[in-house]
Amino acid sequence: MRSKALRWFWITSGLLALALGAIGIVLPVLPTVPFVLLAAYCFSRGSQRWENWLLNQPTLGPMVRDWREHRAVPLRAKQLATVMMTISSALSWWFLPTNIGWIPAATCTLVAIYLWRLPTRSAPTRQPSTEP
């Protein structure tokens, strides 16, 4: 019984993380990739079927597989994430009340520090062509 409850906990947590990642696609303050990676972790603990489904998704699967293989973030992704977090923090600061406007900026700063401390994945090297 406990094992079944734990399995459902992991599946439910994965679905929640995936939903938050989907919301993050349209809401700039909420990051997408960390939630997708969290969903993959949860699914790996709770359901091989859900994990396979996520890994085989054409848009989400490559980022999860890339993270698992290299444990590094591409430089371009770091740059884009930093720019998007800066823009969303500035907009939040502008539109939110003064006493809480700093919270998104503080959160994004912590996320950016964590992101830039992760190893940077260099671009894949292209093999020289042997064809004439």
Where in the chain are the domains? 1-71, 73-119
Distances from the Cα of 5 to the Cαs of 9, 19, 47, 88, in angstroms?
6, 21, 12, 38
Residue with tokens 């399995």: 7
Q: State both tokens at 107.
A: 């959160």
Q: State the Cα–Cα distance between residues 118 and 67, nearest whole angstrom.
A: 11
Whole-number pLDDT of residue 132: 52
CA angle 105, 110, 114 (to 5 degrees): 145
Which residues, given as ranges, of the chain have pLDDT below 50? 1
Whole-number pLDDT of residue 27: 78
Q: State the Cα–Cα distance between residues 98 and 41, nearest whole angstrom.
A: 37
Residue-wise pLDDT for 25-63, tens only, equals 887 677 788 899 999 999 999 999 999 999 999 988 988
Q: State the Cα–Cα distance between residues 85 and 66, nearest whole angstrom.
A: 22
Three-state SS for 45?
A: helix
Q: Which residues contact 14 (CB under 8 A, 6 or more apart)?
A: 38, 39, 40, 41, 42, 43, 46, 47, 50, 54
Give me the residues paired with residue 73 across strands: 120
Whole-number pLDDT of residue 111: 86
Question: In the chain, what's the furthest Cα-to-Cα distance?
Answer: 65
